[in-house]
Amino acid sequence: MYARLVCSCLWIQSVLTLVDCNLHLKFKEFDELTPDNFTVVVKRNAVSGQLNMKIVSFFALRKYFVLHLVPGSPVLRKDFQAHMVDGDGRMTPVHVDQQIFYTGYLNGNPQHSVDAVHTDDVWIAQIHSPDDVYSIEPLTHHVPDSPATSMLIFRQRDINSSIFNGYSHENATLQPFCEEVEYPLSDSLAVEQRRHTKKNTSATINKFKQENIYNEKTDHRRVANNIFKKHLNSETHSLNLILSVYDTCEMLVIADFETYRGIGRANIFRMISILVYLYQSVDRIYRETKFDSLTNLGIAITNLFVHTEYTRLSEHYNMPNNLMTALRTLYSMSQVTNFSNYCLVHLSTQRSFGATVGIATTAARSTHNWGGGICARYAMAARNIGLSTPINAHGVNLPVFIYLLVVAHEIGHNWGAHHDPTEDYVCSPPSHRGGKYLMWPYTASGIHGNNAKFSPCSREEIAGILHEKAHVCFKPQSLVEEVCGNNIVDPQEDCDAGYLKGNPCCTSRCRFPKNAVCSPLNHPCCTNSCQIAPPTQKCFADFQDCHEDAFCSGTESHTCPETRPLPNNSTCQSLGKCWQGDCVTFCELLGATFTPARRLVDCTCEENLTTMCQHCCWNPQSKQNCTKMGGSKIDGTPCMRGVCNHGTCVSTQTNDNIFFEDRLAFSSGSDDIHQLGRMRAVLVTFVCAICGSLTLSLQRTLPITDALI
């Protein structure tokens, strides 16, 4: 849908900052959102008044989203603590409202998960839909001078791969973005140690090298058979039982001062919110992975430290004017204190390390050499550590979605995974087979389905480490969250009806009643009589434009088959047409009828309640305002005051005996994003210097180009 210029952009700031050039270099398609774009319905317990659920709805990227969100983060332990750390190391406790974090699902289907946080009128969320993963992030994360409450939504597949290191994979030599350390020291670090410190510690370094250094000549990382099976004896079954309960790696999460004033924007609550959301999403990746016979293993945050000043010590990972390499920073981190009370410790440091965005110690694969990674013993230095940076080689912020993959990758090393072999078709498949997996050693764009999954090689390696070490320091997840009553079916539960009481298919203890085999609240292919649904029952209605209904298989209740695209030219979204599973909007179709074709986008005519429900289009390249094109939108279409009904925008606020805390109504200025875009075009002078060839990347097959109306 967008023409993409491969260019460098120079701009002169006037009143506003041009954002489009920066964003289009990162994303092929996106929408900007404000708080006015969201409608929030709050449901509370009728007796206690406690918040049970929020239903959040909004329209973006030509889709209508309805999120069912339950407050609380499964990654925060009950005794979770957060602290600010000043330059002298003094710590000040910070109260964190855990009700601002959410888990949930999309459009009433528990199989399509959502992780979210809401703070300072800004939503940060990751939404798993049938066709893609959607991310909502603060616009300030990408454009620092933008309004504080503006947000950006984009699809995973619309991330430009060039953002990772500032250039495209197609035109550059692949560079590893992560370093593995079979802890703690390498020859290069030994050299740095002698060069950067007055005290000669070569004896200590040599001892580390003799005892712990990874010997590449004797390492056999990737073999076809399971190298761990010979270590698994009759105790395996009992270990599996232990790990089914002791399934959580407790972490200390640290953000240095550069990160606090960078992506945290010097706001302690924003910093904590981003970190908790990030680790909540990482935890989901791990718990949804089956490591051999082990399931539902993940992470939790016990403590969170945020440096709000530079540390007034030399040779510290948080010191000012820090020019240490990633490896040197990791070593500095290892000398701070004994981290043995934690399973793992991870540092976010907003410093550029060139092509490297992370480094971590890798768990040893033998109980005779515990090395680094999870549960590692302290021996002259902390070994259960890792670090990552949320910026690329040019100092540009990575999307939060990409950064959480970086963190998940580094923790993967801590859990025992090495990099996936580059020539292995099974563990490093091509893009048409799902793309590279999470532990791929080179820059991953995040746009392929496998990018957030562990490869068979990684799962095998991690399984061996978990069997050998996890029982030593992992803790029960039950200490992290209330198991029953959060609408999420935990491993120890049959079902979870959440705030709904008297459910015939699920008891208050989250167990099936007699003769029940499933619950329709938690299982998409379950009948109201608590039985597996027949193949005639729809399990996923056509809320997703341009996809057919899905029907149950008739053999199991937990999953719903994927939906199939509707035939091309099927009607969608009020006079739109389907094309290859996507809805081409009314305005896009209209633009294609002009000679030459014009790129028109939907907009809202906000003169009155009637025009709000009329088809209106706007050409971003023209100076004209949003223009009425005639015809009314179909009933039920979201509008600025509620929904369209017989051509008029009507409020949908009702009171059906459910407690409403608030419902964020759309204001008359919700279309300010379009106005802002036009103002920027006038108020900001910019020059695009063509660096290479001009490339046109159309997201649609339709011949839509830029022209004035």
Catalytic residue list contains 556: no
Distance CA 234, CA 145 (A): 61
Q: By the 8 A CB rule, do 615 and 601 touch? A: no
Helix %, strand %, coil % of the chain (to 5) = 20, 25, 50
**Rounded to whole angstroms, how far apart are CA atoms 151 and 30?**
10
Query: Chain-centre distance of CA 158, in angstroms?
Result: 14
Compute the half-sphere exposure of residue 476: CA atoms within 13 Å on the CB side of its CA. 12
Q: What's phi and psi for 653, nearest 5 deg?
A: -70, 125
How far apart are the C-alpha atoms of 256 and 311, rounded to whole Å? 9
Q: What does the alpha-carbon distance between residue 212 and residue 206 come to, in Å, rounded to a whole number?
A: 10
Residues 6+ apart with CB under 8 A from 237: none
Distance between CA atoms of 180 and 364, rounded to whole angstroms?
12
User: How far is residue 222's CA from residue 419's CA, in Å, rounded to a whole number?
Assistant: 10
Reduced to 3 states (helix: H, G, I; strand: E, B; else coil), residue 386 is strand
Three-state DSSP state, 538: strand
Burial group, residue 267, by CB count within 10 angstroms (0-12, 13-18, 19+): middle
Is 83 within any annotated ligand binding site?
no
Q: DSSP characters for 490-550?
A: -TT-S---TT--S-TTS-TTS---TT----TTT-TTB-TTSSBPPTTSEEE-TTSTTB--E
The letter for the amino acid at 233 is N
CB 389 within 8 A of CB 255: no
Q: How far apart are CA 262 and CA 494, in angstroms?
A: 43
| 519's tokens | 């619950």
Residue 249's DSSP bridge partners are 299
Q: How far apart are CA 437 and CA 560, in angstroms?
A: 24
How far, in Å, CA of 376 to CA of 472, rounded?
A: 10
* Residues 503, 142: Cα–Cα separation, whole Å: 45
Q: How far apart are the C-alpha atoms of 611 and 36, rounded to whole Å? A: 18
Nearest to 519 by CA among 487, 492, 495: 495
The candidate with the shortest Cα–Cα distance to 399, out of 97, 159, 100, 148, is: 159
Annotated ligand binding at 419? The verdict is yes
The contacts of residue 20 (CB under 8 Å, 6+ apart) are 677, 680
Tell me which residue of 658, 613, 653 sits closest to 636, measured CA to CA: 613
According to the annotation, is 418 in a ligand binding site? no
Which of 137, 182, 258, 410 does the annotation list as catalytic? 410
Residue 84 is which amino acid? M
The two structure tokens encoding residue 200: 């000669």
Instruction: Please give the positions annotated as active site.
Output: 410
Residues making up the binding site = 409, 413, 419
Residues making up the binding site for Zn(2+) = 409, 413, 419
